[in-house]
Amino acid sequence: MRTSPLLLVVVLLSANAIACKKPEGGPPPAASSELEPLCEHHVQKSICTKCNPTLAPVFQAKKDWCPEHGFPESVCPTCHPERGGRPKAATAGKKDDDDDKKIQLSARVLEKAKVRTEPAKKQSVDLSLAASGEVVADPDRSARVTSPIAGRIEQVSFKEGASVKKGQILAVVRVPELGKARAVFASASVRGASARANADRLKTLADRGLAAKQEVVAATAEADALEVEAKAAAEQLGALGSSAGGAGTSLAVRSPLAGIVTRRNAVLGQAITAEEAIANVTDLSELWFLARVYEKDVGRIDVGRRADVQFAAYPNERFGGAVEYLGKEIDPGARTFTARVRLDNAKGVLRVGLFGTARIATGEERKEPTLAIPRSAITDIEGKACVFVKEADGFEKREVELGLVGVDRAEIVRGVREGELVVVEGVFTLKSIAMKGAMGDDD
């Protein structure tokens, strides 16, 4: 049976009509998800007070006004760039970050965290330069502990990371040569004492005319020679780290200074030589930070300039110091000079080898005052510079744009207005709470 082409076309058109027909009483079509466009001022056009000046009194009456920039506070593109120039209603489909950024703390927590604020104000900013580098130990506060003579370790009395005192015994080494040195000293001492007694006896006889003076001179010379030999043997024992009154072939190896054992290379029964170090001991109470300064910047700094060092390992801590030495020889490969900064490590948190960045004062200042805050107020959150601003209902986390950064202060280009209170102490506590909220931790 053959199907008519005309009939086939009619059937297809009917099927399409049935498929496209919407059921009556169904849900209305979804509203467009497109947001109202922004104007040239980066604010939603319908509420921009630059484009519509008559709206300014309305927002001022609602106390939603930024007098510094002339926009509603809730959509000010300078103070709140994260809102994209749109009110909350326009971004209802997006999660509003305002509530997440507000942090409320009890008076007890504020006191315990030692939270302190300062107003952002216009002031001069001391210019500085940044230089990367690493922590090294002060050579005058470091020691390689070795045995003065070859031997075999028979006792180890320390562990890596242990704190040791000056003169503390770290290991005992059996040294066969020590026995020979003791024998030489004992023999020279006995023979010297005998020769001295004989010389004294002959002198007494000579005074009575019973002995020749030549005999006295010879006996005295022999006694002096043997005593010098005994003294030399005693000094040799002292050089080996042993005393003249000791006995046996065991030698105690002691720490030459107080500090921390940063490396151990000693096990029981190990044969060692005088060139092998069994331990490294370092006084970590003070360390050096060797900053690498490019040759174009060397003329901007000098010995005595203040420096502030920060490490990726401790992003919320700053370690202050001063440049105590500026290298006289350039690294031909990197074209940098070394600027040495001494750092106090009383807390013991710094480690040898840590990489960081030093901000070194140049002694120059930006003449015209600019809006600035202490650098201690600035913290890094997810790769962005942020501060915490005190408001009536808590603390608000704000992203800021930085301008010039000095040793003590940093210029604020965007994010904080003059007079607002920013947290300068206790920032780490607020950051921890903010990060906890960002991770969705409800504990």
Task: Please check whether residue 215 is in contact with residue 202, taking contact to mean a CB–CB distance below 8 angstroms.
Answer: yes
Helix (H/G/I), strand (E/B), else coil: 329: coil
Determine contact, residues 286/269, Cβ cutoff 8 Å: no
Angle at 234 between CA 229 and CA 235, to 5 degrees: 100
Of 362, 246, 343, nearest in space to 286 by CA = 343
Residue 68 has what pLDDT?
80
Residue 22: predicted pLDDT: 43
Task: Write the CB contacts of 39 (distance below 8 Å, at least 6 apart in sequence).
Answer: 45, 48, 50, 51
Structural domains of the chain in order of their starting residue, each with its CATH number: 45-94 (no CATH), 101-125+368-438 (2.40.420.20), 128-138+283-360 (2.40.30.170), 176-248 (1.10.287)
Query: For residue 31, what pLDDT is reported?
Result: 41
**How high is the pLDDT of residue 94?**
46
* Residue where the block lists tokens 């008076």: 107
With CA atoms as reference, report the closest residue to 400 among 422, 377, 384.
384
Residue found by looking up tokens 């002339």 in the block: 70
CA distance 419 to 73: 15
Q: Count other Cβ atoms within 10 Å, centred on residue 255.
A: 19
Longest dimension (CA), the chain: 166
With a cut of 50, list the residues of the chain below it in pLDDT.
1-33, 91-96, 99, 439-443
CA torsion angle for 108, 109, 113, 115 (degrees, to 10)? -80
Task: Please report, as a single letter, which amino acid is at residue 94.
Answer: K
Closest alpha carbon to 236 in 154, 177, 171, 192: 177
Residue 322 belongs to what H/E stretch? strand 314-326
The angle at the Cα of 352, spanning 347 to 358, to the nearest 5 degrees, equals: 80
Residue 164 is predicted with a pLDDT of 95
Residue 241: which of 257, 262, 187, 249 has the closest Cα? 249
Say which amino acid occupies 295: E
Determine how many CB atoms are found less than 10 A away from the CB of residue 136. Answer: 15
pLDDT score of 120: 92
Q: Which residues contact 66 (CB under 8 A, 6 or more apart)?
A: 72, 73, 76, 78, 79, 417
Overall pTM > 0.85: no
